[in-house]
Structure 1
């Protein structure tokens, strides 16, 4: 069963554009869960241009589903995650000035680094996931890092979906199948939306979680947050 985790970074982006506490990201996390979200995702960056480190601390007591913190495993990030102890940490290879996550880990080049970081998070009882692309060899090497899960970077799928859905999804279906065969659980995220989500969930198995932020929060401007979360959940349900 695929779970929906809502990334609330964009709510913090709107707040930060004006200052103050409107919209309230803590209340947004509470409401997303109340409206049916099965997890909350945040991605604090060093410049705190959207979710701030203090937001992460403030949100944690309100989480009654699952809490997923994404980020590059810098020293400050490592300290924050070990302080907050989310259910899951998703490691991304972003440099500090990246606009958004746009590539997966090279699990050959960075294997020893990832092994060390992942072991420390797991020792603290935190499930780990690492951001990867669909290169099957890199997924095999991801297994050797000791991670519990991989998160498939889905921007290439979203870009190609409008032209050829089957061709777009094939690499992801093969990557998820391999991951499952070698004992890795599978998440996915980036540019999934109401148009392409159902097709993805139907064809990519196993698929434990999708993390969706930008499109979902944008849709909420038109349809309302509660309605939109239910719309995304129906897409997942209809794909089963």
Structure 2
């Protein structure tokens, strides 16, 4: 099976209103879809999101949108929460999900919703089905293929990381933090990220724990 890492860029007509709200707000740091059930035409889609940010701000916007049939928000920390959503799909959503789940295709969560109106995720499946999905993208959605390879399960570990955790690991690798012996320390990583050493150390610990948890050892 092949795996493709995609970035989809939505325009003003195709972006979901909650994605647009989070993208244009400074109250959020991470917005990821971690589980989903595509119900099909004429029914709700059911999704679970993990969010880092202001739960009150998010819930106020969620209560006002006409694209959500029902929801339940659960706070898991000072600035972390999960949201169970029954989403009312627009036509573009239905066509997009039908294309990405056709035939042999499987979308690998999490899906990372980003502030530049893009969504990043991986899809696994047979080459012909992957080509058909890319060729059949609805108008208003720009597609970029970031990586193509054979599926080996590695995407589960990478995809479980937040954008900040991936950035921290990338910087640490580039500086030599993981070399033996180490060519750089936490202070060097923090300087490159423009944050406190304690913050860099916390990002590294959480990223390493997330990767280990996602690996099937």
Higher strand fraction: Structure 1 or Structure 2?
2
CA radius of gyration, larger in: 2
